[in-house]
Chains A and B, each alone.
Chain A
């Protein structure tokens, strides 16, 4: 897990060395018929995407296509993208997006399933190099392929090995059930150290926790008739577990926590177990940023893993449509993904997750691979999913803050979700 600075420098250096032949190869392989055009790419300011920007220079060199990046904070990308698409501005030829938005933005995105035919000379998509579930969840809407996975993320439970050892637990064996997480968490809670870094703020990681628990307790988002089923037995159990079991062993202030606080809590050894995404491992493994670097374990959450991650798509109204498609094909090609993985972008391609050199450098890859090909599920699959996420974290937060009973919170969540979907015409 521990990435030494020297390894990182070596990695980047080897990337540079390896880049020379690759660059000339790319220059030979990619057509230059779009040379002189400019692609506007909307991406996030996340460090995990820096690699995708770095390699862009090679694409420009090979094709003559200039790339302009708009890097926005993750919290602002949704508004920026929706405003651009729905306002008819279409400033961006290519956009990164999280798959929760795909139902809303799909009408504005180009179908990539015929990309190889549309853009002769573009790198092949090789879709069988992804987990089928990943392609389905990240990019497909009504049999159209509107996005390709560019960053694969899947939730893990982490634990602090030093804290485990100090309390007599085997530091190499993680918890196997949510109940075990709580039992260990109670013993680990001691003074300024807490058993579980529960993000109970009104933010997405609270909804993530709710979703993980809900699936773990056998719940499913919709019933057979397609009606939301969020307040039933599994829903009540989830709210009770968050409010009565996890909240008492969480650090103070967690009622306002989201991802960054969750990460900081674990980095500083304040919380000894937590939910985490591989995108955060670079921070956790860097000793200048983390006091648990190299001293934490990880396991898939009990009941299955929730898929996070990011896709890349092409604006159907782009004035450089084929050039944009070629860029997306190149950015998700095996060679490029390998290079971006070397500088810290979590790859989505199965072959890259099994690459021996990369596995040596990023030892968590096999676990990500197992999670991606194993029991995984996505966020609630519906248009305006973010609105239901807001309901989830509002209600879970209220239950954890003891403003409502877990039963009331579960019932309110169900009522709100049904009312919202009915109002929007998603339910009859």
Chain B
């Protein structure tokens, strides 16, 4: 019996190791690509032992000005995330706890989430061009906000629904204004939800590609645009792609690990109600 249990546990462990390796392989390969000579990336069978170098990193920083793209990504993503949370939190609170015609509004805002970006990117381009706002941070920030706001409102609404309405009513009876209830009672209680929502919208804005591609030129292009440029008509810069991909994915991965418990909470919210 003991031997059977040990064997079973070992098999399960092995299975999980296998699954982990399977899932981690693309990321591992990407990291290796960033530190390898291109010939080591292309060789068949694949070469796992190689002489690491920083040529890909040197190339992206000294030749392509990748730091400019990274800074743009940080500015746009952080601004959009802050704006989304600042807008979505009161909206979600109002839709949950105040007597509003929320249901219709909730359905309406979902439409913005359902429209594929590619269907509206050209109209957005023309409007931005007419307003002289092409290639600016704020046009990206506004569009990222508009596209992620419905998701943020829906997600935050689930968190606000977990807070008992009696809390609000008691505070109101004690003389709190609606703004004070929201700021002093509801927001602290929903802090976990705010962080979880922030993580999701941060990741979505950080990885956004289509609008950044069409609406930016030399001033505000973001990091994912730079990666595309490493595949050219005269060859693919494998080292540069690996190095840039590593730099782009690292903040998201670190952020996701740090906020892991909120992320899981956000994903499972509403599943046991």
Residue positions of A touching B, CB distance < 8 A: 40, 42, 44-48, 50, 68-76, 80, 83, 87-89, 91-92, 192, 259-260, 263-264, 267-268, 270, 277, 279-280, 282-283, 287-291
Name the B residues within 8 Å of A267 (CB-CB): 39, 42
Whether A71 contacts B42 by the Cβ 8 Å rule is no
- Residue B183, interface by CB 8 Å: no
Whether B125 contacts A260 by the Cβ 8 Å rule is no
Residue of B129, B219, B228, B235 with most partner-chain A CB within 10 A: B235
The answer for the CA separation of A264 and B238 in the assembled complex, in Å, is 11
Question: In the complex, what's the smallest C-beta–C-beta distance from B22 to chain A, in angstroms?
Answer: 23
Whether B37 contacts A45 by the Cβ 8 Å rule is no
Q: Can you list 24 A-B contacts with CB-CB less than 8 angstroms, sorted by A residue number?
A: A44-B233, A45-B64, A46-B233, A71-B229, A73-B228, A73-B231, A74-B232, A74-B233, A83-B122, A87-B126, A91-B217, A259-B234, A260-B235, A260-B236, A264-B42, A264-B236, A270-B44, A279-B234, A280-B234, A280-B235, A287-B39, A288-B39, A289-B37, A289-B39
Chain A residue at minimum C-beta to C-beta distance from B236: A260
Residue positions of B touching A, CB distance < 8 A: 37-39, 42-44, 55, 63-64, 122, 125-126, 129, 134-135, 213-214, 217-219, 221, 228-237
Name the B residues within 8 Å of A47 (CB-CB): 63, 232, 234-235, 237
Whether A72 contacts B229 by the Cβ 8 Å rule is yes
Whether A283 contacts B55 by the Cβ 8 Å rule is no
The answer for the CA separation of A428 and B192 in the assembled complex, in Å, is 68
Question: In the complex, what's the smallest C-beta–C-beta distance from B194 to chain A, in angstroms?
Answer: 36
Question: In the complex, what's the smallest C-beta–C-beta distance from A40 to chain B, in angstroms?
Answer: 7
Name the A residues within 8 Å of B44 (CB-CB): 192, 268, 270
The answer for the CA separation of A342 and B214 in the assembled complex, in Å, is 33
Question: In the complex, what's the smallest C-beta–C-beta distance from B61 to chain A, in angstroms?
Answer: 14
Whether A288 contacts B125 by the Cβ 8 Å rule is no
The answer for the CA separation of A288 and B39 in the assembled complex, in Å, is 6
Whether A83 contacts B125 by the Cβ 8 Å rule is yes
The answer for the CA separation of A283 and B232 in the assembled complex, in Å, is 12
Name the B residues within 8 Å of A80 (CB-CB): 214
Supposing A280-B234, A283-B235 touch, asked if A290 and B39 sit within 8 A by C-beta, the answer is: yes
Name the A residues within 8 Å of B55 (CB-CB): 288
Question: In the complex, what's the smallest C-beta–C-beta distance from B73 to chain A, in angstroms?
Answer: 16
Residue of B122, B135, B228, B234 with most partner-chain A CB within 10 A: B234
Partner pick for B232 among A45, A92, A264, CB 8 A cutoff: A45
Whether B38 contacts A48 by the Cβ 8 Å rule is no
Partner pick for A76 among B38, B43, B213, CB 8 A cutoff: B213
Question: In the complex, what's the smallest C-beta–C-beta distance from A162 to chain B, in angstroms?
Answer: 15
Whether A277 contacts B232 by the Cβ 8 Å rule is no
Name the A residues within 8 Å of B126 (CB-CB): 87
The answer for the CA separation of A75 and B221 in the assembled complex, in Å, is 16
Supposing A83-B125, A267-B42, A288-B37 touch, asked if A279 and B229 sit within 8 A by C-beta, the answer is: no
Name the A residues within 8 Å of B39 (CB-CB): 267-268, 287-291
Supposing A87-B126, A91-B134, A268-B43 touch, asked if A40 and B234 sit within 8 A by C-beta, the answer is: no
Q: How many A-B residue pairs have CB under 8 A?
A: 93
Whether B218 contacts A40 by the Cβ 8 Å rule is yes
Partner pick for A282 among B64, B217, B228, B234, CB 8 A cutoff: B234
Whether A268 contacts B232 by the Cβ 8 Å rule is no
Whether A277 contacts B229 by the Cβ 8 Å rule is no
Beyond the given A76-B213, A289-B38, please list 4 additional residue pairs across the A-B interface where CB-CB is below 8 A.
A70-B218, A260-B231, A260-B235, A268-B42
Name the A residues within 8 Å of B237 (CB-CB): 47
Question: In the complex, what's the smallest C-beta–C-beta distance from A274 to chain B, in angstroms?
Answer: 13
Name the A residues within 8 Å of B234 (CB-CB): 46-48, 259, 263, 277, 279-280, 282-283
The answer for the CA separation of A47 and B234 in the assembled complex, in Å, is 8
Chain B residue at minimum C-beta to C-beta distance from A259: B233
Whether B218 contacts A87 by the Cβ 8 Å rule is no
Supposing A71-B64, A89-B129, A291-B39 touch, asked if A263 and B218 sit within 8 A by C-beta, the answer is: no
Name the B residues within 8 Å of A280 (CB-CB): 234-235
The answer for the CA separation of A279 and B233 in the assembled complex, in Å, is 8
Chain A residue at minimum C-beta to C-beta distance from B233: A74
Residue of B218, B228, B236 with most partner-chain A CB within 10 A: B218
Whether A83 contacts B214 by the Cβ 8 Å rule is yes
Supposing A47-B234, A69-B218, A83-B122 touch, asked if A88 and B129 sit within 8 A by C-beta, the answer is: yes
Name the B residues within 8 Å of A83 (CB-CB): 122, 125, 214
Name the B residues within 8 Å of A91 (CB-CB): 134-135, 217
Name the B residues within 8 Å of A192 (CB-CB): 44
The answer for the CA separation of A80 and B228 in the assembled complex, in Å, is 14
Question: In the complex, what's the smallest C-beta–C-beta distance from A356 to chain B, in angstroms?
Answer: 26
Chain A residue at minimum C-beta to C-beta distance from B232: A46
Supposing A279-B234, A291-B39 touch, asked if A89 and B228 sit within 8 A by C-beta, the answer is: no
Name the A residues within 8 Å of B134 (CB-CB): 89, 91
Question: In the complex, what's the smallest C-beta–C-beta distance from B133 to chain A, in angstroms?
Answer: 11
The answer for the CA separation of A42 and B237 in the assembled complex, in Å, is 21
The answer for the CA separation of A50 and B64 in the assembled complex, in Å, is 9
Chain A residue at minimum C-beta to C-beta distance from B44: A268
Question: In the complex, what's the smallest C-beta–C-beta distance from B218 to chain A, in angstroms?
Answer: 4
Question: In the complex, what's the smallest C-beta–C-beta distance from A251 to chain B, in angstroms?
Answer: 11
Whether B232 contacts A73 by the Cβ 8 Å rule is yes
The answer for the CA separation of A74 and B37 in the assembled complex, in Å, is 23
Question: In the complex, what's the smallest C-beta–C-beta distance from B38 to chain A, in angstroms?
Answer: 4
The answer for the CA separation of A70 and B231 in the assembled complex, in Å, is 16
Chain B residue at minimum C-beta to C-beta distance from A44: B232
Name the B residues within 8 Å of A40 (CB-CB): 217-218
